[in-house]
């Protein structure tokens, strides 16, 4: 054993002290790191659709019977169209050119569309007396609406897929919520797809309506692929045996070809999961826009196979005569009408009830 000289003892002590200090630094560093590690940042939700279950008890909201107060809903339209016509013709002994000119002004001011106004004016000219004018116009309106194909599509497959299109502000998202509530009242299981991914507010608005209606919702991130959301909703519905899928889409400008192409893409992608989808394509139009609604219907009909019209906000407008213009210019039937702002205020369009309410006597308002 070597002799422990003072030099060896000094070197050994120094080495031991250095090791002890190094060990202490390692422990201190480890403790400091544990103390300053931030909490994990939650990851953003995936881009694919997320299916949310409806809240408990929400379905009860959708069990209110739908309202169909046609006379009240068409009161403003009746006033500016039929009411003015009655006021003009009442007490007139004959149909002179001055009277016909005034009738023409009323017809063109009723937002019937140019073609419809011209045909009704021709009917007026064929009338032999003022008393014949109103019944003749009513008869022509009935015949026009009766000539349209039925807008009702009976579900033959499960799920029944409905694609809803329309421009921003038309009442599209609100109409989807009301439509979902109708199916829920009928005991159907429903999922809505938040395909308007271009606006975060649209996704949030549809989620609120889905909660009110007591139905499920599929949604992705704002800015995500609308076709992917529609596909995931349809896939989930098929896997779980749901009855109805209602797909929202971005508020399209009918003149924007790129956005119209997106609608075609949504349909193509859905058909990869279900070859027959969609079974209905509903175009939502704002009745307040009058003849512009006719132009929208014409453009959308070119882009997608529209099967029916949802005419929103009919109760709050004097331009309800646009129903006749849409029928005349596009041949598209009206499927539903909005007669109020509550969730139950979406009614099946009834051509007979519409004409009866539009041409009702003044004391029946």
Domain ranges for the chain, please list them: 50-70+148-364
pLDDT in tens, 86-145: 999 998 888 999 999 999 999 998 888 899 999 999 999 999 899 999 999 999 999 999
pLDDT in tens, 296-315: 998 888 878 899 999 998 88
Asked if the model's pLDDT at residue 48 lies above 70, the reply is: no
Name which of 14-18, 50-54, 151-155, 358-362 the model is least confident about. Answer: 50-54
The percent of residues in the chain predicted with pLDDT above 90, rounded, is 53
In Å, how far are 190, 211, 228, 233, 297 from 181, measured between CA atoms? Answer: 9, 10, 24, 18, 25
pLDDT in tens, 131-154: 999 999 999 999 999 999 888 888
pLDDT in tens, 206-252: 999 999 999 999 998 888 899 999 999 999 999 999 999 999 998 76
CATH class of 50-70+148-364: alpha beta
What does the pLDDT read at residue 101?
94
Q: How confident is the model at residue 60 (pLDDT cuts 50, 70, 90)?
A: very low
Asked if the model's pLDDT at residue 291 lies above 70, the reply is: yes
- Whole-number mean pLDDT of the chain? 82
**Which comes out higher in pLDDT, residue 316 or 179?**
179
Q: In the 3-class helix/strand/coil scheme, how is the chain assigned residue by residue?
A: CCCCCHHHHHHHHHHHHHHHHHHHHHHHHHHHHHHHCCCCCCCCCCCCCEEECCCCCHHHHHHCCCCCCHHHHCHHHHHHHHHHHHHHHCCCCCCCHHHHHHHHHHHHCCCCCHHHHHHHHHHHHHCCCHHHHHHHHHHHHHHHHHCCCCCCCCCCCCCEEEEEECCCCCCHHHHHHHHHHHHHHCCCCEEEECCCCCCHHHHHHHHHHHHHHCCEEEECCCCCCHHHHHHHHHHHHHHHCCCEEEECCCCCCCCCHHHHHHHHHHHHHHHHHCCCCCCEEEEEEEHHHCHHHHHHHHHHHHHCCCCEEEEECHHHCCCCCHHHHHHHHHCCCEEEEECCCCCCCEEECCHHHHHHHHCCCHHHC
Strands 216-219, 50-52: pairing kind: antiparallel
């Amino acid at each position: 054993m070597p002799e422990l000289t003072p030099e060896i003892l000094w070197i050994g002590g120094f080495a031991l002290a250095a090791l002890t200090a190094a060990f202490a630094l390692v422990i201190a560093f480890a403790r400091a790191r544990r103390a300053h590690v931030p909490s994990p940042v939650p990851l953003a939700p995936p881009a694919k659709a997320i299916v949310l279950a409806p809240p408990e008890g929400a379905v009860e909201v959708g069990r209110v019977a739908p309202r169909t107060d046609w006379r009240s809903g068409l009161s403003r339209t009746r006033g500016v169209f039929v009411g003015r016509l009655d006021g003009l013709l009442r007490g007139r002994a004959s149909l002179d050119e001055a009277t016909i000119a005034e009738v023409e002004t009323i017809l063109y001011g009723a937002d019937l569309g140019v073609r419809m106004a011209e045909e009704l004016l021709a009917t007026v000219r064929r009338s032999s007396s003022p008393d014949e004018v109103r019944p003749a116009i009513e008869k022509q309106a009935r015949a026009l609406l009766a000539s349209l194909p039925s807008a009702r599509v009976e579900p033959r497959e499960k799920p029944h897929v409905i694609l809803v299109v329309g421009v921003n502000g038309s009442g599209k998202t609100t109409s989807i919520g009301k439509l979902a509530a109708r199916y829920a009242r009928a005991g159907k299981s429903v999922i809505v797809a938040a395909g308007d991914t271009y606006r975060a507010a649209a996704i949030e608005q549809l989620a609120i309506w889905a909660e009110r209606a007591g139905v499920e919702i599929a949604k992705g991130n704002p800015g995500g692929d609308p076709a992917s959301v529609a596909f995931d909703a349809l896939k989930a519905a098929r896997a779980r045996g749901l009855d109805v899928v209602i797909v929202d889409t971005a508020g399209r400008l009918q003149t924007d070809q790129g956005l119209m192409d997106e609608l075609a893409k949504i349909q193509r992608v859905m058909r990869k999961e279900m070859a027959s989808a969609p079974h209905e394509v509903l175009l939502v139009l704002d009745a307040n826009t009058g003849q512009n609604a006719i132009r929208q219907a014409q453009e959308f009909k070119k882009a997608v196979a529209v099967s029916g019209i949802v005419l929103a906000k009919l109760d709050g407008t004097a331009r309800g005569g646009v129903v006749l213009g849409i029928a005349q210019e596009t041949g598209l039937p009206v499927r539903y009408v909005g007669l109020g702002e509550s969730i139950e205020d979406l009614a099946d369009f009834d051509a007979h009830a519409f004409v009866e309410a539009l041409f009702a006597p003044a004391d029946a308002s």
